Structure 1
Amino acid sequence: MSDFLIDDELLAAIDMGSNSFHLAIARVDHGEVKKVASMSEKVQLAAGLDENNYLSEAAQQRGLACLSRFVGRLSAVPRNRMRIVATNALRQAENGDEFMQKAAEILPKPIEIIAGREEARLIYLGVSHTMANGGRRLVIDIGGGSTEFIIGEKFEPLNTESLQMGCVAYTKAYFPDGDISQKAFDKAVVAARKELSAIANTYMKTGWDTVVGSSGTIKACRQIMVNMNLSDEQDNVTREGLHKLKEKLLKVDHVSKIDFDGLRDDRRQVLPAGLAILYAVFDVLKIEKLAFSDGALREGVMYDLLGRFRHEDIRDRSVQAMMGRYGADQKQAERVVETAQQLFDQSAEVLDLSVEDGDLLRRAAYLHEIGLAISHGGYHRHGAYLLQHSDIPGFSQIDQNHLSHLVSHHRRKLRQDALHDVKKVGSERLAYLCLLLRLAVLLNHSRSDADLPAFHLKVKNEQTWQLTISGDVKQWPLLIAELQDEQAQFKHWHVELLIDSDQDIQEV
C-alpha cells in the first residue's frame, strides 16, 4: 500500500445495507473525496431473515446478483483502494459465513462486517465531510435493520449508538401484508420508543445544536414533505410536517395505494415503518426540525480509507486507546512490536505476507498484554475476549477476530485443532503471524532492552524456520531453553523451528 493518494486517484466503497446495496466511486481532489459514479439497488437482505435469523437462498441470490453488477464497475479501481462493508443483516444472519463464501468468489476483496457503533462512526464521518460545520450535531440514519445515532463535533463523534430498529425489520413485524392502520402504526411507534429509551437520557444530556438525517428513509420522507409543502423554507423535516404526513399516510389502507409525489416505487413498501421510526425519534428526542445530508456510510468508508493512506488511521489511535484503557506496559509493547517487525521483514517474502499482514501483527503486538488488566492467569485468553467483543473504532468484526486469535495464541500450548480454527478465519497467513508473535514475545521475556540478543529468522520454506542467535548462546541460557521448549509447540502447527548461533554452537 502506498503512503498517500495523489489527486485523481480512484477510491471505491460498497455498502451492503439491510435494505439497499450501494456502490460509490470517487476521485481524490485536493484532499476531498469527489464522487464520480454511484449505483444503488434495493436488495432487502433483511427481508430474507427468518425467525431464526437464517438468510434465505432467495435473499442471498439477490445480494450476489447485485454484487456481480457492482463488480463490473470496479475494474479501474486498485484493490487496495476499495472497501466492502456489510451492516445489520449480515451481523444478524446465522448463516452469514455461507453468503460471505459465495460473495468471495465474486468480489475482489473480502467483505468486512462492521459492528453497529463502527457503522455509526463511519456514517458520521460521511455526513461531517459533506456538510459545513454547524457546531455539535446529532446525526440519525434509519437503515433497513438498524438505526444509528451519533452526536459529534466537526469530524469527531462523541456518542455512537446503533439500535435494533429499521424500516425492513419493522415492515416485517408491523406491516407484513402491506396493510396500513392506526393500530399497526402505533405499535411500530411504541416499539421504536422502547428502543430509544436506552439512549434518550444520555443523548439529551450531551445535547446538540443541529439535527441531520441521512439514508433513504429520511430522504424519501423529506422529499415527500417538500413536494407537499410540509417542510420549512430550508426544506427541513419539521415536527408539524411529520405529523401531517402521518395523517395523510393513515388515510391509505395499503402500501400499493400510496401515491405521494416524489416517492420511488421501490421505497413504497417500507415507507410506513420508516415513517413510524422517524416519528418516534422526533417524539422521544424532542426534535423540532431535521436537515438532510447525502453523505452516508459509503462516503464515510472512503474518507476512512483516505485517512489510512495519509497515516491518519483511526485503527492506530484505537490501539493506543485500548492500551491506555487497560494499563498495558507501553515499553514492553514497543519492544515486542520492534522485534515482531524485524521477524516480519525477515520472513514476509517467503511466507507471502502482505503489508496489511504486517499492520495486523504490529497492532496485535501492541495489544498482546491487555488481558493482564483482568487477571495474570490466562491473560492471553482475557485479551482475546476483549478484542473479540469490544467496540473498537476502525476495525471490522473480521479484523477483531484476527487480532483475537493472534493474542489468544501468543503464549502457552498450541493445540493442533486450534490450527484449523485459525486457518478457517484467516488462512495460513494468520497462522504464520501467530508464530511470529510468539517468537517476538518469547525473545522479550526479560522485559529489558539490554538482554535482547541480535537474531535473524530465515524461513527456508513454509515448514522449516531457522532462528539464529548472534554470539555465544551460553550468554542466554534461559532464552535458549525457552526456544527449545517452543520447538514442540511449533511442531503442533507443522513448522520445524531450528535454533542456531552464528558460531554454530548449537543446532536442534
Structure 2
Amino acid sequence: MSDFLIDEELLAAIDMGSNSFHLAIARVDHGEVKKVASMSEKVQLAAGLDENKNLTEAAQQRGLACLARFVGRLSSVQPNRLRIVATNALRQAKNGHEFIQRAAEILPKPIEIIAGREEARLIYLGVSHTMANSGRRLVIDIGGGSTELIIGEAFEPIHTESIQMGCVAFTKAYFPDGEISQSRFDRAVVAARKEIAGIVNTYKAEGWDTVVGSSGTIKACRQIAVNMGWSNEQEHLTREGLEKLKDKILKCKTTTDIEFNGLKEDRRAVLPAGVAILYAIFDVLNLESLVYSDGALREGVMYDLLGRFQHEDIRDRSVHALIGRYNADPKQAERVVATAQKLFDGVAGILHLSSDDSDLLRRAAYLHEIGLAISHSGYHRHGAYLLQHSDIAGFSQIDQNHLSHLVAHHRRKLRHDAKLDVMKVGGSKLVYLCLLLRLAVLVNHSRSDEMLPAIELTVDNEQQWQLKISGDAKQWPLLIAELHDEQVQFKHWDIGLTIQSEQFIH
C-alpha cells in the first residue's frame, strides 16, 4: 500500500460486520470498481454483546485495534472517497455511541450505522455489480448478527429483508460451549425457520431465476463442498452437498473436532450455526442450489459512493419517492429548496458549512411537508417521526436522525432545551441548518412564486444574523410580522436575528 500515490480514482469502504471487519480499496476503471487491496479480520462484535446488549470492553478494544490497522492502509485514499458502515452488532448495542465516539478519534470519517434493509440494498448492489446479468436473482447473505435476503433484477432490488439471525448470534444461543449435537442443531434450524416464515409467501410469489450466496458462511460452505466433491459440475453448492456437510458436522462432538481442508479456526467455531441457518433457508424456500459471489456489502458501499460522485445518488431518488408517497406539494418543496440554497450560500463560509451540509438542508427542504399526509396539526412532528423510523434507501441512521431534527424544528416554537438535543446529535452545524430551513419556509408562506421578496442573509458572527429584504416592507406585512416573531424564536437558540428593509430595521 505504501507504493500508492494519492489518486482521485481510488475509493475505499470499511464494513464493520457483526463477525468480521472488512476493508476494501478499489480503483475506478471505466465506471467499474476494481479492487486493488483488501483486509479482513474476525472481530466478532456480536459475540461481545453482553446480556444487557452492551458491548464489552474487550469487544470494543478488538474493534478499535482493527480499525487502527485499517487506517494505516488508507493513506492513499482521500476522506471524501471513503465510507465506513456498521451493521447489526452496532444497531443492537445500547452503548454503541460510546464505541463510535472512541472510533472517531481513529477514523478519518464518521461511522454510519445502517438499517437492516439498507444493508440488504447495498449487499445486492455489490453482488449485482460483480456478476453477469442472469434475470431475477435471490441473494442470501448470512452475517454474524443478521441475514439479508434480497430479490432483485439487474441492479435494482425488488424486495429487501434483514432478519435477526446470524452465525455469531446463533452460536451464542445454540452452541455456546462449542458442543455439537443433533438436538442443538435442530433447535437452531427451527429458530431460523421461524425467523424466515414471515417473508416466505411474498418471496415465493415474486420468484427468482437464480440463487446467489455471499459473505463468509456461504463462502466456507461452498468451498468445503467443492473440496469434498459435494458440489455440482459448475461448483455450485447444492441441497445434497449441504446435507452431506450437515451430516459431517453432526459427527463431531465439538467445534474443535471440525476439520476441513482450508477452513480457518475462527470460521470453524461458527460453522454449525451458519450451516443451520443456511439449511433452514434451503428448506423453507425449496432451494436446490446456489452460486457464490465475491460481491458483498463493501463492494455495494463503494458502488453507492461512486454513484454519488456520478450524480446518481440513491438518496435523491429516495427523497423524491417520499414526496410522491406522502403526496407532498412538489412546487412548494422546490420553492423552499431554492430559498434555502440562497440563504445557505450567503453564510456557508462564515459558518463553516460544507457541501454535505448543503445536501442535508436541500433534502430536508424537499421533505419538510411530508407529515401533512398524517395530519395538519403538528405535521412537523409527524414528518420528523416518518424520517426517523422509515427505511430510506441510501441513508444511515445518523443521516435520518439529522433529517428528522431539521423537519421537527422547521416551524412553531423553539425551546432552549431542544437546541441542546440538536447540538448533541449534530453539533452547531445542525443548529444553523435548522434555522436556515425555518427562514426558507417562512419566506415561502405565501406558496407563490410571484409574492416573494428579494432576500439576502449575512452573518457578522455565528451569533448575529442579518436578513435584508429588498423593497418596501409594506408590500409584505404578514412576512414582516412573522419575521418579527421569528426573532424571538432565534433568541431561544442564542442567535440574534436583525431584519432590514427600506422602511424597517429591527
Supply the distance in 1 between the matched residues of 2:27 and 2:432 (Cα, whole angstroms): 36
Supply the distance in 1 between the matched residues of 2:87 and 2:135 (Cα, whole angstroms): 28
Q: Is the 8 A contact 1:7 1:30 kept in 2?
A: no
SS state at 1:191 partner: helix
Aligned to 1:447: 447
Aligned to 1:56: 56
Q: Is 1:255 the counterpart of 2:270 in the alignment?
A: no
Q: Is 1:506 the counterpart of 2:504 in the alignment?
A: yes
Supply the distance in 2 between the matched residues of 1:198 and 1:17 (Cα, whole angstroms): 24
Aligned to 1:466: 466
SS state at 1:76 partner: coil
Shift, 1:8, TM fit: 6.6
Aligned to 2:3: none
Aligned to 2:152: 152
Aligned to 1:3: none
Report Cα offsets for 1:127-156 as digits up to 9, x if no partner: 000000000000000000000000000000
Q: Is 1:410 the counterpart of 2:410 in the alignment?
A: yes
Q: Is 1:142 the counterpart of 2:146 in the alignment?
A: no
Q: Is the 8 A contact 2:454 2:470 kept in 1?
A: yes
| Matches for 1:52-201 after TM superposition, within 5 Å | 52-201=52-201
Q: Is the 8 A contact 2:7 2:77 kept in 1?
A: no
**One-letter code aligned to 2:390:** S
**One-letter code aligned to 1:356:** D
Q: Is the 8 A contact 1:239 1:288 kept in 2?
A: yes
Supply the distance in 2 between the matched residues of 1:259 and 1:411 (Cα, whole angstroms): 64
Aligned to 2:245: 245
Aligned to 2:367: 367
**One-letter code aligned to 2:329:** D
Aligned to 2:357: 357
Q: Is 1:320 the counterpart of 2:324 in the alignment?
A: no
Q: Is the 8 A contact 1:15 1:22 kept in 2?
A: yes
What is the percentage of aligned positions where both structures have the same residue?
78
SS state at 1:410 partner: coil
Aligned to 2:435: 435
SS state at 1:468 partner: strand
| Matches for 1:372-391 after TM superposition, within 5 Å | 372-391=372-391
Supply the distance in 2 between the matched residues of 1:199 and 1:237 (Cα, whole angstroms): 23
Supply the distance in 2 between the matched residues of 1:8 and 1:493 (Cα, whole angstroms): 40
Shift, 1:507, TM fit: 1.5
Supply the distance in 2 between the matched residues of 1:423 and 1:7 (Cα, whole angstroms): 35
Taking structure 1 as the reference length, the TM-score comes to 0.98
Q: Is the 8 A contact 1:371 1:380 kept in 2?
A: yes
**One-letter code aligned to 1:171:** T
Taking structure 2 as the reference length, the TM-score comes to 0.98
Supply the distance in 2 between the matched residues of 1:7 and 1:369 (Cα, whole angstroms): 42
SS state at 1:395 partner: coil
Q: Is 1:331 the counterpart of 2:336 in the alignment?
A: no
Supply the distance in 1 between the matched residues of 2:504 and 2:335 (Cα, whole angstroms): 26
Supply the distance in 2 between the matched residues of 1:231 and 1:424 (Cα, whole angstroms): 53
SS state at 1:269 partner: helix
Deviates more, 1:382-391 or 1:252-261: 252-261
SS state at 1:22 partner: strand
| Matches for 1:246-325 after TM superposition, within 5 Å | 246-325=246-325
Q: Is the 8 A contact 1:7 1:29 kept in 2?
A: no
* Over 2 Å off, 4+ runs: none
**One-letter code aligned to 2:264:** R
Deviates more, 1:48-57 or 1:306-315: 48-57
Q: Is the 8 A contact 2:368 2:383 kept in 1?
A: yes
Supply the distance in 2 between the matched residues of 1:7 and 1:319 (Cα, whole angstroms): 32
Report Cα offsets for 1:349-402 as digits up to 9, x if no partner: 010000000000000000000000000000000000000000000000000000
